Amino acid sequence: MIVKIQQRSVYHKFTEIEIEVPKDVQVDDWILNNEDLWSAKMDEKHSTSKYVFGTGLYDIEGMDDAESDSEWRYQCPDGYGGHL
C-alpha cells in the first residue's frame, strides 16, 4: 500500500511605503487617482521583500480580510485608515 504524506504551508509578504498626500483631500480617493505616483515604488519594494511563514492575518492592524488573497490598506499618522 502506498500512502501519500502531504503538507500545505502558507507564506506571505508585507510591504509598506510612505507617500506624501496633500492636505484637505479625500485620502483614499487621492491614493487611487494617483496610483502612477506610488505603484512602481510599491512593486519594486514588494519584489525584494522576504516571505514570512503564515497568513499574515491580524499581524498588522486592519489586515484581517480572511476572504481575500491580497489586501491593500492606507494608514494616516492620526490613526485614520482603511482598505483600498
Residue 4, domain member (yes or no): no
The model's pTM is 0.79
Total domains present in the chain: 1
Residue 17, domain member (yes or no): yes
Residue 6, domain member (yes or no): no
Residue 1, domain member (yes or no): no
Cβ-proximal residues to 75 (8 Å cutoff; 6+ apart), any chain: 61, 62, 81
User: What's the rounded mean pLDDT across residues 69-75?
Assistant: 92
Using one digit for the tens of pLDDT, what is the confidence trace for 9-50?
Answer: 999 999 999 999 999 999 999 999 999 999 999 999 999 999
| b/e per residue 10-23 (b: at least 16 CB within 10 A) | eebeeeeeeeebee
Residue 76, domain member (yes or no): yes
Maximum distance among all alpha carbons in the chain? 69
What pLDDT, on a 0 to 100 scale, did the predictor assign at position 62?
Answer: 87
The residue segments making up the domain with residue 50 are: 11-83
Residue 22, domain member (yes or no): yes
